[in-house]
Amino acid sequence: IENLTQRAKEVLNGNFQAEGFTIPSKGLYPFQWKWDSGFIAIGFAHYDMEKAKAEIGTLLKAQWDNGFIPHIVFHTENDSYFPGADFHQSNLHPQSSKKYRSTGMTQPPVTGFVLQEMYRIADDKQDLLRFIEEHIDKVYQNHAYFYTHRDPNNEGLMYIYHNWESGTDNSPVWDAIWETMNPPHYDVKRKDTTHVDVSQRPSNREYDHYLYLIDIAKEHRYDDAKIAELSPFLVQDPLFNAMLIKSNEALIELYGLIGNNTEKIRQLKQWQEKSIRGCNEKLFDEALGAYVHYDLRNDRPIRHVTSSSFSPLFAKIPDQDRAAILVKTMLERFGGDDKYLCASFDPTDERFDPRKYWRGPVWINMNWMLYYGLKNYGFLKIAERMRKDSIELIERDGFYEYFDCRKDNGEPNRRGYGGSNFSWSAALLIDLLK
Ligand code: DGY
């Protein structure tokens, strides 16, 4: 364990940049990604709190005047990634950062619960509370942005307008949405497939859809109201909303520790109640025994079971009975003895692909959330399996971006795919080994 933790620290230290943030993986992802940064800070918090603070401090510096936090901050010039800052042109938005170049889309709202995790881990609680005091209002403003601009029907459920906002980029969940669109073909140079084998990445046709959605947003200067009105992709995602709810709860706790913030706590509790109700009433699918995505543009639920379907456990959204239903679904579809937990997409579905990014592989950040989520409800045996499986995959194959869930995949000791020396796999392993 000592040895594995040491190797994880070497991965993180190696990816840390002088500008005060950590790249997810060399070559493939050379900038700062929002949700990666959050998970990375949790790893650093265990052995180098100054780096953990730098990670979150740097991310929050790139916040826009309207509270929005972008999904990628382009701190450096680097042409090994596409689409870069010149494609995104997020400065079209009048309130975008004047100092940092970024995308005009966001990623799951991790920052609130990451501050709470850093506090849990910190030895010097006083010092960390001072750091939190300096930064927490920015996170609150970010939540206010969501509730003001991303919930047009006032359901407590935020929409995402791009698959990259979900974090689960090429999930089969989006396939039916792509069928409603017919974007032009983009004659562009993909860079991801120069770093990673094409069989492990999204297809070119999928990229046409991704780029077209950005062009529509650009055409309207990234105006939220216009996007809500016009984007062919408009989805309420259980993972995105579970992370917001988890972060709401964290902010309530942290403001309580700081004191003198009754008005913000009152507002957060009101948001929280609405969002938990929204999730339970709209996103739970009784027949599947799982939370599902909702396609707001085409007004229909997207009835697939994914690892995101279980993420409400992390934010204590279901009651105990419903949590038990989720565990049953997880064990039946994802949890056979021949598999590691937890595939990102339903292994019993014909669209399952064990090596292709978010169409099947195991992701360590999802396993980390599900581990804590299962513990929330006292499902200790399956929680422990989630933890052990995560450790075993990394120990055998290395700090990869994602892993084949099949114990026998025909290639002994080759279950790791995508980027190598991947930061959040290292960061969260450090936490799981504690
Ligand atoms: C990518 O480039 O694949 C990233 O995941 C986008 O966020």
Kindly list the domain boundaries of the chain, sorted by start residue.
2-432
pLDDT value at residue 415: 85
β-pair type (16-17, 402-403): unpaired
- Which amino acid is located at 388 in the chain? K
Give the pLDDT of residue 2: 77
H helices of 180-237, where? 192-195, 204-219, 224-230
For ligand 1, mutation pick of 81, 164, 210, 359 (most atoms within 8 Å of CB): 164
Computed from CA positions of residues 31, 307, 318, 286, in that sequence, does the dihedral angle turn out positive or negative? Answer: positive
| Structure confidence at residue 34 (pLDDT) | 98
201 CA distance to ligand 1 middle (Å): 10
Residue 412 has pLDDT above 80, yes or no: no
Residue 260 DSSP label: S
21 alpha carbon – ligand 1 mean position (Å): 17
Residue nearest to atom 7 of ligand 1 (CA): 164
User: What percent of the chain stands above pLDDT 70?
Assistant: 100
Catalytic residue among 169, 175, 253, 353: 169
What ipTM goes with this model?
Answer: 0.91
Atom of ligand 1 nearest to the CA of 357: 3
Mean pLDDT along residues 149-169: 98
CA-angle at 108, arms to 43 and 379, nearest 5°: 65
First vs last C-alpha separation in the chain? 9
Q: Which of 29, 194, 201 to mutate to test the pocket of ligand 1 (most atoms within 8 A of CB)?
A: 29
Q: What is the pLDDT of residues 276-311, one digit of tens each?
A: 999 999 999 999 999 999 999 999 999 999 999 999
Residue 414 has pLDDT above 90, yes or no: no
Q: Would you place residue 411 in the very low, low, confident or very high pLDDT band (cuts 50, 70, 90)?
A: confident
Whole-angstrom distance, CA of residue 32 vs CA of residue 49: 18
Is a pLDDT exceeding 90 seen at residue 73?
yes
Alpha carbon distances (Å) from 113 to 2, 147, 359, 427? 27, 17, 27, 15
Nearest alpha-carbon partner for 28 in 382, 321, 434, 419: 419
Question: Which residue among the candidates 55, 208, 224, 401 is catalytic per the annotation?
Answer: 401
Q: What is the pLDDT of residue 355?
A: 94
pLDDT value at residue 410:
86
Has 431 been annotated as catalytic? Answer: no
In the predicted structure, residue 375 carries a pLDDT above the cut 70: yes
Mean pLDDT of 168-191: 97
Q: Binning pLDDT at 50, 70 and 90, where does residue 265 land?
A: very high
* pLDDT mean over 100-125: 98
The confidence score (pLDDT) of residue 413 equals 67
Q: What CATH number belongs to 2-432?
A: 1.50.10.10
Q: What is the pLDDT of residue 379?
A: 98
Please say if 208 is a catalytic residue: no
For residue 47, give the DSSP letter. T
